[in-house]
A = this chain, B = another copy of it.
Amino acid sequence: MKKILNNPNDFVVEMLEGLLKAHPTQLSYAGDDVHCIVRADAPVVGKVALATGGGSGHLPVFLGYVGQGMLDGCAVGDVFASPSADQMFEVTKRIHGGAGVVYIYGNYSGDVMNFDMAAELAELEGITVRTVLVRDDIASAPPERAERRRGVAGMVFAFKTAGAKAAQGGSLDEVVAVAEKALANTRSMGVALSPCTVPMAGRPTFTIGEDEMEIGMGIHGEPGMKREKLQTADQIATRMIEAILADLKPATGDTLAVMVNGLGATPPEELYILYRKVHELLTGRGLKIHRAYVGEFATSMEMAGASLTFMRLDDELTALLDYPANTPFFKQI
């Protein structure tokens, strides 16, 4: 295992300590527990608060989106493991500004069970909690079982648009409606070229041949849908684009937001080579690209690979996407 760390068991806590020291004006923590990350200015009184959570090892997901115009708090678990209901509850209490809390997180059973418990605890304290599950990864289940799909990079579009709506003073119902609309119009798919290593496990989650890639990879080093020969960037892009469009079914003339996300070890150069083909194919089909996000937004530590996410936009989502944001990992001016 080639990682820069001390004791693997301290990986998450030390990462959080470093992060809190690096961003003291933007981030703080609740409940005397560094796993409970909140905006330094939480609670924002009168604003609907947004929280997320999940395992570590995906930076900027999840906590990287806590900040102005996006999220108010995030409960952080161990690498690839849910935070506890307690921790989610601590975050919830600290960020609640009197207008309710929206949980937006990926559809993973550990997280679902713990967020549900946290919501029950919050309701007992009179905090209204609403939940929106992210299930954007088309590779994880066919359309007829779309509710089983897992959440990957597409969650960033939900954070961005719902976060903007809340920042603009939207009500709890309005913020939930925006998150749901964003996600109903968002689809993702990924490929992996190399595995990653959970620090505490000490060995890679899977092995893969020098000339192979894993199609439909998630962001946890779980094996994907199938293993194939490595293809060219254009072939990989084409394949992902066609799968996503077949599922999203945009009409000619529709406008999309596009994200080309690196899984960790894939350099930005390669992501832009993918984007080149995305731009060519989408515009070739009469689709418009309003904004392109190319970089690392949801990773699996040092995994090589990339994912594509498209969100179909209407006027409201476009305006919310364009709204400013300022978090340690996501700045839009």
- Which A residues are closer than 8 A to B by beta carbons? 2-6, 11-12, 14-19, 21-23, 56-57, 59-60, 64, 193-194, 210, 230, 232-234, 236, 264-277, 279, 292, 294, 296, 299, 301-302, 304-306, 324, 326, 329, 331-333
Contact = CB atoms under 8 A, between A and B. Distances in A.
Contact of A236 (B4, B266, B273): B4
B59 A273 contact: no
A159 B181 CA distance: 41
B15 A272 contact: yes
Contacts of A16: 272
B232 A5 contact: yes
B302 A21 contact: no
A304 B304 CA distance: 12
Contact of A274 (B18, B194, B274, B277): B18
13 contacts: A3-B193, A4-B266, A5-B232, A15-B272, A18-B277, A19-B272, A21-B279, A56-B269, A59-B269, A64-B268, A264-B265, A326-B333, A331-B331
A12 B292 CA distance: 20
A21 to B, nearest CB: 4
Given A4-B270, A194-B2, A265 B302 contact: yes
* Main SS at interface, chain A: mixed
Contacts of A279: 18, 21-22
Q: Which of A16, A17, A232, A302 has the most CB of B within 10 A?
A: A302
B332 A4 contact: no
A246 B183 CA distance: 52
Q: Which of A6, A16, A279, A332 has the most CB of B within 10 A?
A: A6
Contact of A15 (B19, B273, B305): B273
B193 A273 contact: no
Contacts of A271: 4, 18
Contact of A273 (B18, B23, B57, B296): B18
